[in-house]
C-alpha cells in the first residue's frame, strides 16, 4: 500500500515537473495487455512515453538503472499497442524520470529506443 502511494506520488511529481518543462499530459497510467505506461506526454510534435522510477537506495544502481532491458521491452510493446489507437503516427521517444529520495528528478530524454 505504501509502495503504491509512493509510486503515485512520484508519478504526479514527474507529471508536474515535465509540464513545467513545456510538455503536455496526454494520458496517465495507460494500460494494455502488455503492461502500463506511467505517463504519455506531448513535447511539440513528439509523443513521449515516460517511465517514472523511485528508489530510496542506490545499492543496485539507483532508480534509472532499474529500467532493465526486460522493462524496456514491455514499455515498447505497450507503446506499440497505444500507437495503434492513433490515426497518424507521431515521432516518439522514451524518457525516464528517476527520483532518488526527495531529490530533484533526473530526466533522461531518449533513455532507450526500439533497439533496446
Three cell numbers written together for 108: 533522461
DSSP letters for 17-80: HHHHTT-EEEEEEEEETTEEEEEEEEETTEEEEEEEEEES--TTSHHHHTS-HHHHHHHHHHHH
How confident is the model over 43-59, as pLDDT tens digits? 999 999 999 988 655 55
How confident is the model over 57-82, as pLDDT tens digits? 555 555 665 678 888 999 999 999 99
Domain ranges of the chain: 2-112
Q: What SS3 state is found at 3?
A: helix
Query: CATH for 2-112, among 3.30.420.40, 3.40.1350.10, 3.40.50.800, 3.40.50.300?
Result: 3.40.1350.10
The pTM assigned to this predicted structure is 0.88
Amino acid at each position: 500500500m505504501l509502495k503504491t502511494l509512493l509510486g503515485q506520488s512520484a508519478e504526479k511529481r514527474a507529471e508536474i515537473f515535465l509540464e513545467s518543462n513545456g510538455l503536455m499530459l496526454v494520458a496517465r497510467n495507460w494500460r494494455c495487455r502488455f503492461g502500463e505506461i506511467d505517463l504519455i506526454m506531448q513535447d511539440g510534435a513528439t509523443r513521449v512515453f515516460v517511465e517514472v522510477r523511485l528508489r530510496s537506495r542506490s545499492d543496485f544502481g539507483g532508480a534509472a538503472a532499474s529500467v532493465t532491458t526486460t522493462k524496456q521491452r514491455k514499455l515498447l510493446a505497450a507503446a506499440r499497442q497505444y500507437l495503434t489507437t492513433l490515426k497518424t503516427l507521431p515521432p516518439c521517444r522514451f524518457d525516464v524520470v528517476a527520483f532518488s529520495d526527495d531529490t530533484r528528478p533526473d530526466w533522461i530524454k531518449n533513455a532507450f529506443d526500439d533497439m533496446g
